[in-house]
Chain A
């Protein structure tokens, strides 16, 4: 082989490497696009061909997420107590001088107490609303980068949860289940900007539609558009779900929030009320999923009469 042909081959090889990578990228981009088309087309009718793959990944990853979450839970609760509670700060400082056994007890005790209080609250929520609830913990929160506000629960179809079940906490409406695998369920929060909930003003019984603003923190608000604008909503009015029949996606009579502001738009001749939700979406832990009475479940159900079975 002459030097010249060797050189030309070297140049060709050098060019071929990026070219084959670009070809591969084009292939992968096409594959992604095909996947999106297949999923988006099926997604509207609720039975996407991708769903079995989702269920399979959820079955594998769901329990791992739940395990990782319960491992960091005590540390997170300790951090909250130190940040939010002045006298706890002093208490923790003294305890830090004591032995590690006491420290670890301090770390887990507030969590246990909080959880007990939450279970109590959920039991009374079941009693107040008259629905049967499956208790579940929030183990994963979707990042804002995905532009939908969703959370993962550590219970799925084996606990009796299915898509389009209502999710409540002790304070009120959380959202609805959009997808459930054997051991996990994905919940679209009511505060998500894509979520639409039928609401009813408790004082006038007028109905309307609530949309979220996508913010989980203190700025999380819902806007209420009333169907009939004859009677304006008042600041302080409570809003409850109006219920979409057959128990899904939203059952009736769950408290959603309180009217904090009423604004009028002269151009649209309609009034929009801003609702502050009762639920703190930034601090979700124990929630209840509404299921039909007598549902077969592998965990204990909280019955409407407050009993745990």
Chain B
């Protein structure tokens, strides 16, 4: 499988996540917060492919969230947040390969930590560019619920997602 095909596969996954999140999951919010499917996809890609591909995927996926309808914030905020998450989780991947293990709980914890980091960076970047943010209390509540929801959907989504992404990975990386 060529690089272009692999990139198209990941791009397709990101697009499906963006559409599901804005059109379908937004119909059943918990206190206004919906699970962040795009984040789960970015974490999955970073776990399987490492920090470089992880951060690039995070940046592009964040850009899609920034530009797709319902978004009304300064573009680049989710791109920044998800690029950082892609990098950090990708570093975790490098460590994991050193242990040689593949523990499912780690992936779920990575989603939880990624959710915390991404939503926090997004909220803080709002303060910097004087974009809309709520009060600090409201922000913490939203971050908390977001982390919990993402960790609920992660065990359901990650196993099929990770096995799909492993199939999309070049042969020389197939050790992990």
Q: Which of A34, A37, A65, A145 has the most CB of B within 10 A?
A: A145
> For residue A139, which residues in chain B have a CB less than 8 angstroms away from its CB?
23
Query: Does B152 sit within 8 A of A, measured CB to CB?
Result: no
Q: Which of A4-12, A16-24, A91-99, A271-279 contacts B (4 or more CB under 8 A)?
A: A16-24
Among A32, A34, A53, which residue has the most Cβ atoms of chain B within 10 A?
A32
Cα-based distance from A37 to B62 in the complex (angstroms): 16
Q: Which residues of B contact A22 (CB under 8 A)?
A: 51, 87
Q: With A and B bound together, what is the CA distance between A178 and B29 in angstroms?
A: 23
Within 8 A of A (CB), among B126-153: 126, 129-134, 138-139, 142, 145-146
Choose one: B27, B31, B51, B77; the contact of A21 (CB below 8 Å): B51
Instruction: Tell me whether A62 is interfacial, beta carbon within 8 Å.
Output: yes
Q: Does A88 contact B (CB under 8 A)?
A: no
Contacts of B26 in A (CB 8 A): 140-143
Given A24-B56, A61-B68, A186-B69, also A36-B75 (CB < 8 A):
yes
Query: Which of A35, A66, A215: most chain B CB closer than 10 A?
Result: A35
Among B5-13, B78-86, B157-165, the stretch that binds chain A is: B78-86
In the bound complex, CA of A37 to CA of B131 (Å): 11
- Answer yes or no: A68 CB below 8 A from chain B CBs: yes
CB distance from A94 to the nearest CB of B (A): 26
- Taken together as a complex, chains A and B put the C-alpha atoms of A66 and B23 apart, in Å, by 7
Which listed residue, A53, A54, A147, A194, touches B123 by the CB 8 Å rule? A147
Partner of B19, one of A35, A68, A186: A68
In-complex Cβ contact of A193 among B76, B132, B145 (8 A) = B132
Give the chain B neighbours of A308 by CB distance below 8 A. Answer: none
Interface string of B54-96 (1 = CB under 8 A from A): 0110110011101111111111110110011001001100100
A35: B residues at CB distance < 8 A: 63, 66, 75-76, 79
Q: How far is the CB of A69 from chain B (nearest CB, A)?
A: 5
A36 shortest CB reach to chain B, Å: 4
Tell me the smallest distance from the CB of B22 to a CB of chain A, in Å.
4
Which of B32-40, B99-107, B167-175 forms part of the interface with chain A? B32-40
Whether B84 contacts A25 by the Cβ 8 Å rule is: yes
Could you list which residues of chain A lie within 8 angstroms of chain B, going by C-beta atoms? 17-18, 20-22, 24-25, 28-29, 31-37, 39-40, 43, 48, 50, 53-54, 57-58, 61-62, 64-66, 68-69, 72, 76, 139-148, 150-152, 178-179, 181, 184-186, 188, 192-194, 214-217
**9 interchain pairs (CB within 8 A)?**
A21-B50, A21-B91, A24-B55, A50-B67, A58-B69, A68-B23, A140-B70, A145-B122, A147-B139
Further pairs besides A22-B87, A54-B71, A151-B70: 11, Cβ < 8 Å: A28-B79, A31-B79, A39-B76, A54-B67, A65-B69, A66-B23, A143-B36, A144-B34, A186-B69, A194-B132, A215-B32
Residues of B that sit less than 8 Å from A by CB: 15, 18-24, 26-29, 31-34, 36, 50-52, 55-56, 58-59, 62-64, 66-77, 79-80, 83-84, 87, 90-91, 94, 119, 122-123, 125-126, 129-134, 138-139, 142, 145-146
| 9 nearest CB pairs, A to B | A35-B76, A144-B32, A32-B80, A21-B51, A36-B76, A65-B23, A57-B67, A68-B23, A141-B26
